[in-house]
């Protein structure tokens, strides 16, 4: 703030009025020159989408050099330089405006982040964070002949082995616990990282060492239809799901909870078609962050499979207490204890132990176990419960508040309203909720991001938000 505004702040605290008749103009404008007109926004200014990040700094997942290696402050006289391990308040990532890159997708895994841009240039994919399982591929440099090591602090470019890099765009990136998958429009799919259960869609090699692994697996799915192509990829903790244009689902990876939906409980390395109740449905959206998967079809019905220990998938034919109902290997339409099933939904999200869905009117439903957002007392709900819109700011001054979509992390949830406001709740690990306090949030709290939030990517320890400014 300028000196003038700072002194005015002090004046407003006392009741004395600023005497307007006795302004000494010589202080403000001594030479009495005419005030020039400044232009803060040029005629051809372009609003770059901004990236905000917050959460755990230690793994380098936030990708800001100054957080990890704090430059020694000449004002600090003590030798013990303490670096804070968490960034609880949103920070604007300098990556986007420093290098003039328009970032279109962000994916957050366990301690690492992937950024992708929709360009045709060579540099399309960047990554930072943990690299113990080569989930960010192997980096080597003249100065680092044996590799970059376990942590990448600043986002580095990943060059994927594409045949035509100047004519391929990256459509999507997805990150799981220790693996990453990239979807392009011309050159197929790429995956790298941990493959202990086949989540990278290649065969499991026994005793494979994933650290400093130079392998990037490039593949295409065996789709039954010639016209079909993969449009979306979703990564759970140790499994990967593929969604095609015609609404079919393929999956590979860990299957001990039945999260692949293929009817058995053994790991699958080659992506298989998911059948069951969704065999003839046109699936539009998939959601999975833990071991439970939710799918949304075109008409708004919700299907699910995978882990059912927290009653996320409703009731089925088996009685509730039998061990057979704890996992569900076949996709089924969700039906709940009071006979209802979710209809007319536009967005679903599945976290570690809770699920959420948004319907066409913008109402948010939560069910499962954990910090659902209804206060610290109500932690288990097995029938989807609507969240009162007053928590998201609906009152007599703000009549129309609707949720646009909801995203789930492992232990926290984020909801974005149509106005571009971000609300987060759940466990607050290392400040990943973006609110200033360190405790867990049992009800939705507003995250103060000074821009309109378009989408948010949640990792267990850190969060990234893709935003657009106001002017």
- What tokens appear for 447 in the block? 């995250």
Question: Contact, 294 vs 288, CB < 8 A?
Answer: yes
- What tokens appear for 401 in the block? 């508040």
- Pick the binder of another protein from 30, 36, 145, 319 (CB under 8 A): 36
Question: Contact, 460 vs 449, CB < 8 A?
Answer: no
> Smaller CB distance to another protein: residue 47 or 120?
47
DSSP string, 156-168: EEE----S-GGG-
Near another protein in 40-79, by CB under 8 A: 40-41, 45
* Nearest distance from C-beta of residue 333 to another protein, angstroms: 21
Question: Contact, 293 vs 318, CB < 8 A?
Answer: no
* Nearest distance from C-beta of residue 9 to another protein, angstroms: 8
Distance CA 243, CA 220 (A): 13
- Of the ranges 101-109, 161-169, 221-229, 385-393, which one interacts with another protein (CB under 8 A)? 385-393
Question: Helix or strand or coil: residue 276?
Answer: helix
- Pick the binder of another protein from 22, 37, 75, 206 (CB under 8 A): 37
x/- track of binding to another protein for residues 394-423 (CB under 8 A): xxxxx--------------------x-x--
> Smaller CB distance to another protein: residue 279 or 438?
438
Residue 89 found at the interface with another protein (CB under 8 A):
no
* Nearest distance from C-beta of residue 349 to another protein, angstroms: 21
Q: For residue 219, give the nearest of 169, 193, 182 by alpha carbon.
A: 182
The CB density around residue 248, as the number of other CB atoms within 10 Å, is: 23
x/- track of binding to another protein for residues 342-381 (CB under 8 A): --------------------------------xxxxxxxx
Distance CA 442, CA 412 (A): 10
Near another protein in 425-454, by CB under 8 A: 438-443, 445-446, 448, 450, 452
* Nearest distance from C-beta of residue 157 to another protein, angstroms: 32
Near another protein in 280-339, by CB under 8 A: 337
* Residues in a beta bridge with 190: 182, 218
Distance CA 110, CA 175 (A): 8
- Pick the binder of another protein from 18, 85, 214, 320 (CB under 8 A): 18
What residues have CB less than 8 Å from 379, skipping those under 6 apart?
369, 370, 371, 372
Residue 385 found at the interface with another protein (CB under 8 A):
yes
Question: Contact, 319 vs 334, CB < 8 A?
Answer: no
Which residues make up the interface to another protein (CB under 8 A)?
A: 4-5, 8, 11-12, 17-18, 20, 23, 25, 28-29, 35-41, 45, 337, 374-383, 385, 388, 390-391, 393-398, 419, 421, 438-443, 445-446, 448, 450, 452, 470-471
């Amino acid at each position: 703030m300028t000196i003038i505004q700072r002194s005015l702040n002090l004046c407003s605290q006392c009741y004395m009025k600023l005497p307007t008749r006795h302004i000494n103009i010589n202080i403000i404008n001594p030479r009495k020159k005419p005030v020039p007109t400044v232009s803060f926004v040029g005629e051809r200014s372009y609003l770059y989408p901004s990236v905000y990040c917050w959460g755990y700094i230690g793994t380098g997942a936030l990708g800001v050099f100054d957080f990890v290696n704090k430059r020694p402050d000449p004002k600090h006289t003590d030798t013990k330089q303490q670096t804070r391990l968490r960034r609880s308040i949103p920070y604007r990532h300098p990556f986007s405006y420093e290098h003039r890159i328009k970032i279109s997708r962000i994916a957050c895994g366990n301690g690492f982040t992937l950024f992708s841009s929709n360009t045709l240039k060579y540099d399309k994919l960047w990554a930072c964070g943990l690299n113990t399982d080569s989930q960010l591929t192997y980096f080597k440099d003249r100065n680092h002949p044996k590799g970059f090591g376990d942590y990448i602090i600043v986002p580095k470019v990943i060059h994927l082995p594409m045949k035509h890099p100047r004519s391929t765009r990256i459509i999507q990136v997805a990150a799981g616990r220790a693996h990453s998958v990239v979807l392009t429009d011309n050159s197929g799919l790429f995956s790298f990282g941990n493959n202990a259960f086949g989540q990278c869609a290649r065969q499991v090699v026994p005793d494979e060492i994933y650290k400093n692994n130079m392998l990037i697996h490039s593949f295409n799915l065996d789709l039954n239809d010639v016209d079909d192509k993969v449009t979306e990829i979703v990564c759970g903790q140790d499994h990967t799901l593929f969604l095609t244009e015609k609404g079919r689902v393929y999956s590979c990876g860990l299957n001990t909870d039945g999260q692949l939906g293929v009817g058995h409980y053994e790991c699958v390395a080659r992506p298989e078609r998911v059948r069951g109740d969704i065999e003839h449905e046109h699936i539009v959206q998939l959601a999975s962050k833990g071991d439970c998967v939710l799918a949304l079809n075109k008409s708004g019905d919700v299907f699910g499979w995978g882990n059912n220990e927290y009653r996320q998938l409703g009731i089925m034919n088996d009685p509730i207490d039998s061990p057979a109902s704890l996992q569900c290997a076949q996709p089924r339409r969700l039906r709940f204890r009071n006979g209802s099933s979710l209809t007319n939904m536009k967005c679903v999200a599945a976290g570690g132990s809770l699920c959420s869905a948004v319907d066409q009117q913008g109402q948010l439903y939560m069910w499962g176990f954990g910090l659902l957002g209804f206060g610290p007392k109500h932690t288990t709900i097995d029938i989807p419960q609507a969240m009162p819109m007053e928590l998201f700011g609906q009152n007599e001054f703000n009549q129309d508040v609707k949720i646009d979509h909801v995203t789930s992390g492992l232990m926290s949830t984020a909801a974005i309203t149509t106005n571009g406001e971000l609300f987060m709740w759940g466990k607050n690990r290392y400040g990943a909720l973006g609110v200033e306090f360190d405790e867990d949030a049992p009800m939705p709290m507003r995250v103060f991001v000074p821009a309109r939030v378009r989408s948010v990517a949640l990792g267990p320890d850190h969060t990234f938000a893709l935003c657009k400014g106001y002017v």
